[in-house]
Amino acid sequence: MQRILRGALASLLLYAAPLCAEPVVLTQTQAKRVAQQAYAAGNPALANALAKRLTEAAPGDAEALLLLAATETALGRPEAGRKAGRLAFARSDDPGLRHEIARHTAFAAYNEGRPGLARFWLRRASDTAPDTDAYERDGADFRALRAQSPFRFGFDLSLAPSSNLNNGAQGGFLTVGSVTVGALSGSAQALSGTRIVTQAQLGYSLPDRPRAQTTLLGRIYASQNILSDEAKARVRDPVTGEPTLTGSDLNQTSAEVIVRHNFTPAAMRNPLSASLATGQSWAGGQQIGPHLRAEFGMPLLAGPPGSLRLAATVERQWQDAGPVTAQSLALEGERRDARGNAFGWGVTLRQTSGDTRNQDNREISGELNYSLGRPVGPVTLSGRLTALARDYEHYSLGSFLQVTDGRSDYQITIALDMTLSNISLMGYAPRISLTGQQTQSNISRFDTQQLGVAFGFTSHF
């Protein structure tokens, strides 16, 4: 090993100091220090030559590989720098060193023209950030890179045990007002179990035009349901012993493509937004039908203290029972204080109409939400309260039973989200969501209660 380092220093010192008569023998530690000083002084060629000799002498030396990664990139060879950084990261078990390696590898990937890979390495760097400032710097660099890319990718996976997967009734009998009509089947009653929800979104922003931007989005939603043993027993046919409902019957999937256009008219300062979405939905493995949705949003107020926005939506669904049309109008507001706390509210009016009387309804809903700008201990908190009233002027149970006064539902939902902000994996922090929901209706089939907890992840970046 000394022979290798002696040879390296002999050749290097010949042009660094031509008057030197004899090569100087340095230890690996001393050679690293010379290479580091050369790199810091703006001589990457000298540092690179030393780094190559060091890695020849000790192929698994993470510090030498880091020097090689940094100098290869500085000399215009970012692919070699990235590969050296990847190997250095695998060879090191020191958190501080791994953080530095990951950042240099991200820089090499960026110079290689691979911004997505650069963001990946910045996420790896965040795992070993030595302090809050370093972590925030990793996040800021990640956001800066993401802003440069026309692509956006989002992914969310949650596991949610629930007391009522099927939105089933609490009781075993069907009543309308105070009149008992009959017994409810097991599948119409609340069934407990676990729901796994996967959501993914890919977006691409077209080149900006003056005062306008267009974005293409693809979105997929899928839920898988697993009934508990108690629920499986409840839905078993007492005669045949076969289940009348399975977890897969409750599965839902939707996929859609969206074109979103934000534009600012000449006489306005804040952008308007318009979007058109089309897609397909499935339930229980069966196709429900396609849908088409148009949305329009207009800011009424916008500024640092808060915002106010008006949004309108029109949607058409083509189902087996016939087409369904829904229109909604929403007013949404948000206000933030100096500490970063955010308070939001919204009111939505919605009307749905279809070919059958059970599809016609009117709905009004309101939402209040609040999120703390600073963690409470290790937890970042946010909460949401939603109230909804829905009215069906005409409603029927089966072909022969008409409900005289129609159907009226009143629903309230309370949710609390807790993010463990001091724990993260590649910038993703664990999230726990608690949800309670109760619906009261003049038809007992729609008297429901639901308690659920969802485990997922949220990105700090």
Q: How far lies 8's CA from each of 1, 54, 110, 169, 241, in Å?
A: 11, 9, 31, 80, 81
Phi/psi-derived region of residue 286, left when phi > 0, alpha when psi is between -120 and 50, beta in every other case: beta
In this structure, the answer to whether residues 212 and 342 fall within a common structural domain is yes
Q: Residue 28's pLDDT is what?
A: 80
Q: Residue 30's pLDDT is what?
A: 83
Q: What's the CATH number where 418 sits?
A: 2.40.160
Q: Which amino acid is at 180?
A: T
In this structure, the answer to whether residues 260 and 280 fall within a common structural domain is yes
The stretch 90-108 carries a mean pLDDT of 94
Asked if pLDDT for residue 161 goes beyond 90, the answer is yes
- Last residue of a domain, which of 113, 148, 183? 148
Q: Residue 171's pLDDT is what?
A: 85
How far, in Å, CA of 224 to CA of 195, rounded?
Answer: 6
Q: Residue 266's pLDDT is what?
A: 82
In this structure, the answer to whether residues 11 and 26 fall within a common structural domain is yes
Q: Residue 9's pLDDT is what?
A: 45
In this structure, the answer to whether residues 144 and 166 fall within a common structural domain is no
The stretch 208-213 carries a mean pLDDT of 86
Nearest of 328, 214, 326 to residue 275 by alpha carbon:
214
In this structure, the answer to whether residues 173 and 286 fall within a common structural domain is yes
Report pLDDT digits (tens) over 229-274. 999 999 998 888 899 999 999 999 999 999 999 999 887 888 899 9
Nearest of 253, 201, 250 to residue 222 by alpha carbon:
253
> How do beta strands 407-420 and 212-227 pair?
unpaired
Contact between 109 and 117 under an 8 Å Cβ cutoff? The reply is: yes
Three-state secondary-structure class, residue 338? coil
Asked if pLDDT for residue 114 goes beyond 80, the answer is yes
In this structure, the answer to whether residues 262 and 393 fall within a common structural domain is yes
How far, in Å, CA of 457 to CA of 117, rounded?
Answer: 21
Tokens of 29: 């530690």
CA atoms within 13 A on the CB side of 264: 12
Confidence band, pLDDT 50/70/90 cuts, at residue 24 = low
Q: Which amino acid is at 55?
A: T
Please report where in the chains the tokens 């990847």 appear, as a residue. 86
- Residue 377's φ and ψ, nearest 5 degrees, are 65, -125
- Residue 237's φ and ψ, nearest 5 degrees, are -65, 125
How large is the angle between the packed helices 62-74 and 44-57, nearest 10 degrees?
150
In this structure, the answer to whether residues 251 and 272 fall within a common structural domain is yes
- Last residue of a domain, which of 99, 127, 148? 148
In this structure, the answer to whether residues 164 and 71 fall within a common structural domain is no
Nearest of 78, 82, 79 to residue 65 by alpha carbon:
82
Contacts of 280 (CB under 8 A, 6+ apart): 254, 255, 256, 287, 288, 289, 290, 291
Q: How far lies 247's CA from each of 164, 267, 280, 307, in Å?
A: 12, 54, 21, 42
Q: What's the CATH number where 131 sits?
A: 1.25.40.10
Q: Residue 197's pLDDT is what?
A: 96
In this structure, the answer to whether residues 358 and 438 fall within a common structural domain is yes
What does 243-276 look like in DSSP terms, one character per residue?
BS--GGGG-EEEEEEEEEEEE--TT-SSPEEEEE
The stretch 331-350 carries a mean pLDDT of 93
Q: Residue 349's pLDDT is what?
A: 98
Tell me what percent of the residues of the chain surpass a pLDDT of 70: 94
Asked if pLDDT for residue 20 goes beyond 50, the answer is no
How far, in Å, CA of 378 to CA of 431, rounded?
Answer: 12
Contact between 401 and 177 under an 8 Å Cβ cutoff? The reply is: no
Report pLDDT digits (tens) over 125-137. 999 999 889 999 9
Nearest of 375, 341, 342 to residue 132 by alpha carbon:
375
- Last residue of a domain, which of 119, 148, 177? 148
Report pLDDT digits (tens) over 440-461. 999 999 999 999 999 998 888 8
Confidence band, pLDDT 50/70/90 cuts, at residue 346 = very high
In this structure, the answer to whether residues 207 and 350 fall within a common structural domain is yes
Q: How many domains does the chain contain in total? A: 2
Tokens of 123: 């996420």
Least confident of 8-12, 187-191, 208-212: 8-12
- Can you give the residue range of the structural domain that contains 123? 2-148
Confidence band, pLDDT 50/70/90 cuts, at residue 367 = very high
Asked if pLDDT for residue 16 goes beyond 90, the answer is no
In this structure, the answer to whether residues 92 and 110 fall within a common structural domain is yes
The stretch 43-53 carries a mean pLDDT of 91
In this structure, the answer to whether residues 387 and 418 fall within a common structural domain is yes
